[in-house]
Amino acid sequence: MERKKALEIVKEQLTEHRYVHTLGVMETAIALAERYGADRKKAEIAAIFHDYAKFRPKEEMRRIVIQQKMDETLLHYGTELLHAPVGAYLVEHEVGITNQEILSAITNHTTGAVDMPLLDQIIFLADYIEPGRNFPGVDEVRALAQEDLEVACIAALRNTVTFLMKQQQLIFPATIETYNHLQRKRKNR
């Protein structure tokens, strides 16, 4: 799918603010893909569609999680996480994108996943560090992303877990597992 068509499709699903965010994620993902040798086109498409379901009704997303036998653990951690796996499902069934690498990157862009492939890491980080983001620690992760993708993912996960703990929010198990997996991997080198 060409960029122009993909952006037209996704723009109809998003607020103007979220569309601008999506453009930032797309440019960041393309730059990271070029830097780390990932498929530029797959990074572009995954980034464009990463928030496709962000503004779908919460009840619709819950229903899809149950009907499609997705990880129902998601239902116990608020609604913010639902848009990623539901988005991948809807991108496949409404838009017709069937590439599993792209769908995996969309699915894992909020929580991370153990053994994230390169494209998953790129979309995860691009969403975190796109130029419109401004919060404590983001500049550090941006700098790390230029040096080492895994170290940048670890820093983003650490910051996310710390933020959620300070907010006294639940932390999705896959996020902790991803952090632990990447830390073990780094220490075993």
Please indicate, yes or no, if residue 36 is contained in any of the structural domains.
yes
**Structural domain contains residue 172:** no
Q: Which residues of 74-111 are buried (b: 16+ CB within 10 A; e: fewer)?
A: beebeeebbbbbbbbbbbbeebebebebbbbbbbbbbb
Q: Given a cut of 90, is residue 4 above it in pLDDT?
A: yes
126, part of any domain: yes
In angstroms, the CA 24 to CA 27 distance is 5
Inform me whether the pLDDT recorded for 107 exceeds 90: yes
Whether residue 184 lies inside any domain: the answer is no
Instruction: Indicate which CATH number applies to the domain containing 12.
Output: 1.10.3210.10
Q: Is the pTM of this model over 0.75?
A: yes
pLDDT-derived band at 114, boundaries 50, 70, 90: very high
- Residue 117 is given by DSSP the state -
Write out the residue range of the structural domain in which residue 60 sits. Answer: 3-134
Number of domains composing the chain = 1
**pLDDT for 137 beyond 90:** yes
In a domain, 155, yes or no: no
Q: If 0-12 CB within 10 Å is exposed, 13-18 middle and 19+ buried, where does residue 154 land? A: buried
d(CA 152, CA 166): 21
Residue 165 lies in a domain: no
Q: Does the structure show a pLDDT above 90 at 78?
A: no
Nearest alpha-carbon partner for 28 in 14, 11, 40? 40
Q: pLDDT at residue 52 above 90?
A: yes
Is 171 a domain residue?
no
In a domain, 37, yes or no: yes
Mean pLDDT of 76-85: 94
Give residue 189's pLDDT: 78
